[in-house]
């Protein structure tokens, strides 16, 4: 059983962020509804449990002040993850209660502008299969991280994104590959991209088609058609996806979902971008030897950002 109590301070005022024993500032976190002081070992504990033996998922949200962008979309994904993983609903807070915890935590940490809020949900049942009839223990953790600029503000810098194909292993044929669950393959793909001095790695499906990148879902533009994968073909459930489709159609682009983007299609594309709540919306400059000149996707991203700003929760 994962015991994180050793990583939590048993004493002290949980009303505000605090410092560690060395005097370094640390944010407050929320564990199972209780606000706690942070020690570094806590944040890694439950997240690593997904990779080693646990069942769970993560959902990363962008906050402006204490308000999350695309809250309704996040709620939809959280509900789908809980349903697909057969996690007991009764052990987690209702969405309005969870939103209240997020807002309170953000107020306690007093971040002035933009931040990431990560929800980690995991099942701790002594290694037994949570799909069985017994009731496992379900826990959740909210952690917050300051970001100097939001992913939307970073877009204005036009930082180039380069992708490298990760061919050493492939994603399995599984209904769980669409869920935001960290896997060993994702970890190794990230390490591969860093070793190759690339921004992100491109992961393959079991059949050799492109699933996604380690920076998020992949969208390619060919003529007037924006192409991406279906959730059943490697696309991760992400809060951005529906907004991207809505804005793309407003810009008179066709939106096509495919059963895995082929390597030939990826190399034939005129423009390319990645999208995820954790990494934002990023124009792809290069994939292997291919170079993209993203003009229409550049304008699409700008329109998405304009749409999001006055509609933070929706």
154-308 homologous superfamily:
D-amino Acid Aminotransferase, subunit A, domain 2 (3.20.10.10)
Quote the CA–CA distance of 81 and 94 in Å, as a whole number.
14
CA dihedral (286, 292, 295, 299) in degrees, to 10, reads -40
Q: 82 is written with which tokens?
A: 């809980």
pLDDT at site 151: 62
pLDDT at site 1: 32
Mean pLDDT value across the chain: 80
pLDDT at site 206: 92
Q: Is the pLDDT of residue 37 over 80?
A: no
Quick: pLDDT tens for 142-174.
Answer: 999 887 766 666 555 557 789 999 999 999 888
Q: What is the DSSP letter of 261?
A: B
Quick: pLDDT tens for 5-30.
Answer: 333 333 333 344 455 444 455 788 99
The CATH topology of domain 5-148 is D-amino Acid Aminotransferase; Chain A, domain 1 (3.30.470)
Structure-model confidence comparison of residues 123 and 276, the more confident one: 276
Q: How far is CA 308 from the centre of its chain?
A: 17
Quote the CA–CA distance of 154 and 93 in Å, as a whole number.
33
pLDDT at site 261: 95
Cβ 246 vs Cβ 255: under 8 Å: no
Lowest mean pLDDT among 39-53, 73-87, 235-249: 39-53
The pLDDT confidence band at residue 226, using thresholds 50, 70 and 90, is: very high
Model pTM? 0.80
Residue 39 in 3-state DSSP? coil
pLDDT at site 82: 86
Cα angle at 241 between 236 and 247, to 5 degrees?
A: 165
Q: 84 is written with which tokens?
A: 């697909």
Q: Where are the domains of the chain?
A: 5-148, 154-308
Decide: residue 274, CB within 10 A, 0-12 exposed, 13-18 middle, 19+ buried.
buried
pLDDT at site 5: 35
Quote the CA–CA distance of 235 and 230 in Å, as a whole number.
6
Do the two domains 5-148 and 154-308 of this chain adopt the same fold? Answer: no
CA distances from 129 to 88, 210, 313 (A): 13, 31, 35
Q: Is the pLDDT of residue 135 over 70?
A: no
Q: 80 is written with which tokens?
A: 């789908």
Query: Which residue stretches of the chain are H helix?
Result: 40-52, 71-84, 95-109, 151-155, 184-195, 240-250, 263-268, 296-308
Strand partners, 280: 276
Element (H, E) at 241: helix 240-250
Quote the CA–CA distance of 152 and 306 in Å, as a whole number.
9
Q: Strand 161-165 vs strand 280-287: parallel, antiparallel, or unpaired?
A: parallel
């Amino acid at each position: 059983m994962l015991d994180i109590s050793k990583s939590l301070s048993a004493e002290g005022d949980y009303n505000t962020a605090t410092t560690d024993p060395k005097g370094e500032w640390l944010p407050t976190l929320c564990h199972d509804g209780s606000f706690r002081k942070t020690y570094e070992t806590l944040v890694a504990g439950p997240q690593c449990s997904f990779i080693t033996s646990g069942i769970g998922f993560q959902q990363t949200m962008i906050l402006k002040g204490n308000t999350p962008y695309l809250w309704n979309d996040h709620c939809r994904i959280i509900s789908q993850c809980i349903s697909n993983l057969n996690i007991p609903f009764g052990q987690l807070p209702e969405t309005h209660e969870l939103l209240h915890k997020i807002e309170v935590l953000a107020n306690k940490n007093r971040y002035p502008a933009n931040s990431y809020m990560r929800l980690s949900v995991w099942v701790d049942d002594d290694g037994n299969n949570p799909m069985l009839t017994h009731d496992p223990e379900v826990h959740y953790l909210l952690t917050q991280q300051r970001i100097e600029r939001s992913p939307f503000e970073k877009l204005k810098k036009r930082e180039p994104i380069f992708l490298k194909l990760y061919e050493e292993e492939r994603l399995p044929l599984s209904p769980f590959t669409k869920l935001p669950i960290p896997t060993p393959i994702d970890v190794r793909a990230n390490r591969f991209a860093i070793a190759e001095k690339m921004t992100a790695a491109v992961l393959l499906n079991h059949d050799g088609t492109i699933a996604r990148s380690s920076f998020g879902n992949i969208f390619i533009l060919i003529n007037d058609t924006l192409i991406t994968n279906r959730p059943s073909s490697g696309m991760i459930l992400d809060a951005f996806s529906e907004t991207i489709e809505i804005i793309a159609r407003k810009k008179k682009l066709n939106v096509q979902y495919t059963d895995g983007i082929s390597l030939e299609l990826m190399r034939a594309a005129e423009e390319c971008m990645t999208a995820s709540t954790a990494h934002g919306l990023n124009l792809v400059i290069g994939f292997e030897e291919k170079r993209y000149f993203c003009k229409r996707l550049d304008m699409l991203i700008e329109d998405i950002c304009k749409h999001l700003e006055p509609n933070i929760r929706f």
